[in-house]
Amino acid sequence: MTHEFDTVIRHGTVATASGTMDADVGIRDGRIVALAESLGRGREEIDARHRLVLPGGVDAHCHLDQPVGDGLRMADDFLTGTRSAACGGTTTVIPFAAQARGQSLRAAVADYHARAEGRACVDYAFHLIVADPTPTVVREELPALIDTGYTSFKIYMTYDDLKLDDRQILRLLAVARQHGALAMVHAENADCIAWLTEALEAAGQTAPRHHADARPMVLEREATHRAISLAELVDVPILVVHVSGREAVEQIRWARGRGLRIYAETCPQYLFLTAEDLGHGYEGAKCVCSPPPRDVANQRVIWDGLADGLFTVFSSDHAPFRYEDPQGKKPGGQEVAFRHIPNGIPGLETRLPLLFSEGVRTGRITLEQFVALTATQPARLYGLHPRKGHIAIGADADLAIWDPDRRVTVRNEALHHAVDYTPYEGMTLTGWPTTTLVRGQRVWDHGEFLGRPGDGRFLRCGRPEMARPKGVEPAPGAYLARRPGGALAALAGRADPPSPRHG
């Protein structure tokens, strides 16, 4: 008997970012080749009656096997991290190839490829982290990497080993503009954090809960405003990552009101955790992340931003450190002062079920918004559309089949990451993916992980359409940048000239 398709997913409700339909999905050679009320036979048939068929999630912000130094180590590598992603309905991840100071950006990328190859179980692309924007990096390495499919990079405004000053940020934004990349910004004011940390330590206030005291919202607000202003000067879009609450949201709304292309990301920790979760003795270290979780009123602001379109993407910011681990939240086996606790919480597997249960099931956001925030828009924003994050003819058959009524109480022992806790332990959620397919292959099916290390493919990202400058009523910086061989281009790679003298 001949089959028209490799696989047919039958009788499901197919949801995209623009609507839902009752349809069969026909898959051949790893791609979606037909969508119709009723399709011919497939070699494999999946019954999706009473199920939702969604694009597999695109988690555009997660950290896997990223070198962190200081004797610390991330718990998840590309195998355990992507396994966990697949079991939570995510089919593409975009973690970070991080440059260390003094390291070439190309070397950082080569090292990161070696970590992923042969281990990833879902498809992956890389963002870059630029920590050392030397003239060679800015003039040669970064443009060459953008050309070859690494079209987004993260800029830090905090952390001593990563932070860049405004002039360095401007240079990188000019490169993003010139070469069509998207800059992502971690917006917190480093000097203010350092000052508050010193004061808290002097007062003996070193418990994990003081991590939140050292990073109040005003510091996120200031840095967000500054990042927006720098982007306006250069006339280039940016994405503000992991927005935590009202103060940063207000800055982004203000920027949008001015017609600037400022995109925003938020994460589960800002919907489901508060600063009080840092307050249970040293166990609070489990919820140490930056920016820190805020309070219930700020959670509402984030929900509003998801519902009204302020947020472009919803990512996990999975940054996995084990709690009972001398390379994790207890460095050297000790309960340490908050400044030494590695930042980050796990969330790759729970990202989608949390938002589905508490967003879609409660009516806070629509199913279409859910798909847009978790799959379609991340793919667009990072140059993976229309291949990823979308159900359409020709797209990769990356799909998650959801039981929208399934009740699951989150237990870390049932998750598939290598972290020894989840901040969401004991939450009961409604809705969970029963089956996940990557390019037509089942990687998660009714409680069983079926993926194979090495089956995940590296994705070269295109230049994102959303990263295009406005090019309207340009700021002076933009004018300079647009001229062929213009002044801003020339400045991009220059070493710092001496500062003007005073007096």
SS3 category, 449: strand
Q: Which is nearer to ligand DUC, 16 or 315 (CB)?
A: 315
Nearest to 220 by CA among 325, 296, 291, 269: 291
Least distance (Å) between residue 4 CB and ligand DUC:
45
CA trace torsion 484, 488, 493, 499 (10° rounding): 150
Q: How far apart are CA 119 and CA 209, in angstroms?
A: 36
Q: Does residue number 227 form part of the binding site for ligand DUC (CB under 6 A)?
A: no
Q: Residues interacting with Zn ion, by CB under 5 A?
A: 186, 317
343 binds, among Zn ion, ligand DUC, none (CB under 5 to 8 A by kind): ligand DUC
Q: Which residue has the tokens 């003094």?
A: 102
Q: Does residue number 318 form part of the binding site for ligand DUC (CB under 6 A)?
A: no
Q: Which is nearer to Zn ion, 190 or 429 (CB)?
A: 190
Q: Does residue number 238 form part of the binding site for ligand DUC (CB under 6 A)?
A: no
210 binds, among ligand DUC, Zn ion, none (CB under 5 to 8 A by kind): none
Least distance (Å) between residue 61 CB and Zn ion:
5
Least distance (Å) between residue 319 CB and Zn ion:
5
What residue number has its CB nearest to Zn ion?
A: 186
Q: Does residue number 351 form part of the binding site for ligand DUC (CB under 6 A)?
A: no
Order of strands across the sheet that contains 127-129:
96-98, 127-129, 152-156, 182-186, 238-240, 262-266, 313-314
Q: Which is nearer to ligand DUC, 424 or 432 (CB)?
A: 424
280 to 53, 101, 270, 427: CA distances (angstroms): 40, 35, 18, 18
Least distance (Å) between residue 70 CB and ligand DUC:
14
Q: Which of 10, 119, 225, 242 binds ligand DUC (CB under 6 A)?
A: 242
Q: Does residue number 398 form part of the binding site for ligand DUC (CB under 6 A)?
A: no
Enumerate residues 6+ apart whose C-beta is below 8 A from 297.
Answer: 246
Q: Which is nearer to ligand DUC, 220 or 232 (CB)?
A: 220
Show the binding pattern over residues 185-214: x = contacts ligand DUC (CB under 6 A), - = does not. -x----------------------------
Q: Which of 59, 222, 265, 317 binds ligand DUC (CB under 6 A)?
A: 317
Q: How far apart are CA 284 and CA 321, in angstroms?
A: 13
Q: Does residue number 290 form part of the binding site for ligand DUC (CB under 6 A)?
A: yes
Least distance (Å) between residue 243 CB and ligand DUC:
11
Query: For residue 377, which phi and psi values (nearest 5 degrees)?
Result: -70, -40
SS3 category, 447: coil
Beta strand extents in 95-241 (DSSP E only): 96-98, 123-124, 127-129, 152-156, 182-186, 238-240
Q: Does residue number 344 form part of the binding site for ligand DUC (CB under 6 A)?
A: yes
Beta strands 127-129 and 96-98: pairing type?
parallel
Residue 242: alpha-carbon gap to chain centroid: 8
Q: Which of 343, 366, 412, 430 binds ligand DUC (CB under 6 A)?
A: 343
Chain positions contacting ligand DUC, by CB under 6 A = 63, 186, 241-242, 289-290, 317, 319, 343-344
